[in-house]
Amino acid sequence: MKEESRLKNVLQGGHFAVTAECGPPKGADPKAIQKKGKMLKAFVDSVNVTDNQTGVVRLSSLAACALLLKDGLDPVLQMVTRDRNRIALQSDILGASALGIRNILCLSGDHQSFGNQPQAKGVFDIDSMQLIQLVRQMRDKGVILGGERLTEPPHLFVGAVENPFADPFSYRVLRLEKKVAAGAEFIQTQCVYNIVRFKEWMEQAGDCGIPEKVYILGGVTPLKSTRMAEYMSKQVAGMDVPDEIIKRMKSVPADKQREEGIRIAVETIQALKGMKGIHGVHIMAIEWEDVVPQLVEEAGLAPRPTV
């Protein structure tokens, strides 16, 4: 019997899931990732490991997932199509499964021009939608692209992302529907600050019956400061930080802004928990993973269920 995805078990068990993002270090030391894993272990169901996020070179997602797995966590392997062609992607999908990794999140990845290797050749041999379809085909039919049969299919719970705040808004639900049709089994969204717009998107998704077909985890990123809120609002494309949130951060002195950020995040988690069709939260505390236990506790989501 193969070890199952804990995330899948939690969701199928009808629990409200909690996942957290974990960024690997800019170096070869395994301790950094192990330390983060240890801290998160009791407070989340699964841990997403980013794949050279924003195009910055870091310890590989696959290796970091293997380290977390060894320490008893349920890692979610984030895999972007920016850096690998279909040969490397399929090979890593098999490798991940062989190591015992049971979750994969399919993304296209931030464009290489944003990172520390702006002269790199962006691969984009396939896109995120095609990657979802590919993992499902490998898992369910046991064949790779071109139809060649695998000796053993990979065992992976397949996820995708969606950004309800990007444009064109009218197309975002159709795109989500397409990802579900391609085979996504769970969705982790871009971080939510604009609850109103997120709700509107969820209602549209509900009208299409999407929450019955896929588990949706709402994204939450605690704000550290007014500056971070303003930066995310103005500099990060596809990010919607309403003025009220920025005003709220501004209304407290600088040394209290982290606390305010945590409060906003906890309120967001609670709002998401009460929203129809939302099956969990995905906490992306950027270089601030040690705040996750507090967020989970204050949101009343600790302890995590045993599945």
Partner 1 sequence: MITAERKPLSEIKEMIAPYRKVLVVGCGSCVAECAAGGEKEVGLLASALRMDARTEGRDLEIKEMTLDRQCVYEFIDQLTEFIDQYDVVLSLGCGAGVQAVAEVFPRAIIVPALNTTFVGETKEAGLWVENCRGCGDCKLGFFAAVCPITGCAKGLFNGPCGGSQDGKCEVDPDTPCAWQLIITRLEESGRMNLLDKVYPPADWSKQQGRGPRKIVREDQKI
For partner 1, which residue of 34, 108, 225, 270 counts as binding (CB under 8 A)?
108
Give 124 or 231: the residue with its C-beta nearer to partner 1: 124
The bridge status of strand 17-22 relative to strand 46-49 is: parallel
Round to whole Å and give the CA distance between 197 and 193. Answer: 9
**Nearest approach, Cβ of 146 to partner 1 (angstroms)?**
10
Binding mask 132-171 for partner 1 (x = CB under 8 A): -xx----------x---------------xxx--xxx--x
Identified binder of partner 1 from the candidate list 61, 128, 204, 257, rule CB under 8 A:
128
Tell the smallest beta-carbon distance from residue 190 to partner 1 (Å). 6
Sequence-distant (6+) residues with CB within 8 A of 49 are: 21, 22, 23, 24, 33, 61, 64, 65, 68, 75, 76, 77, 78
Q: Where does this chain touch partner 1 (CB under 8 A) — which range of 68-76, 122-130, 266-274, 297-305?
A: 122-130
Q: Which two tokens stand for residue 54?
A: 């924003």
- Alpha-carbon distance 154 to 97, whole Å? 5
Helix residue ranges per DSSP H, the chain: 6-12, 31-40, 61-70, 86-99, 128-136, 169-182, 195-207, 226-235, 243-250, 257-273, 292-298
* Residue 97 vs 163, nearer CB to partner 1: 163
Least Å from the CB of residue 298 to partner 1? 28
Check the CA dihedral 177-178-182-187 and report its sign.
negative
- Residues touching partner 1, count (CB under 8 A): 34
State how far the Cα of 194 lies from the Cα of 254, in Å rounded to an integer.
23
- SS3 call for 192: coil
End-to-end CA, the chain: 16
Q: Does 125 bind partner 1 (CB under 8 A)?
A: yes
Residue 87 touches partner 1, criterion: CB under 8 A: no
Closest to partner 1 by CB, 134 or 272: 134
In the list 36, 82, 224, 248, the residue contacting partner 1 (rule: CB under 8 A) is 82
Complex with partner 1: residue 162 or 260, whichever CB lies closer:
162
Query: Where in 235-254 is the site for partner 1 (CB under 8 A)?
Result: 237-238
- The pattern of x and - marking residues 166 through 205 that bind partner 1 according to CB under 8 A reads xxx--x--xx--x--xx-------x---------------
CA 217/CA 278 separation, integer angstroms: 6
User: Binding residues for partner 1, per CB under 8 A?
Assistant: 82, 86, 108-111, 113-114, 122, 124-130, 133-134, 145, 161-163, 166-168, 171, 174-175, 178, 181-182, 190, 237-238
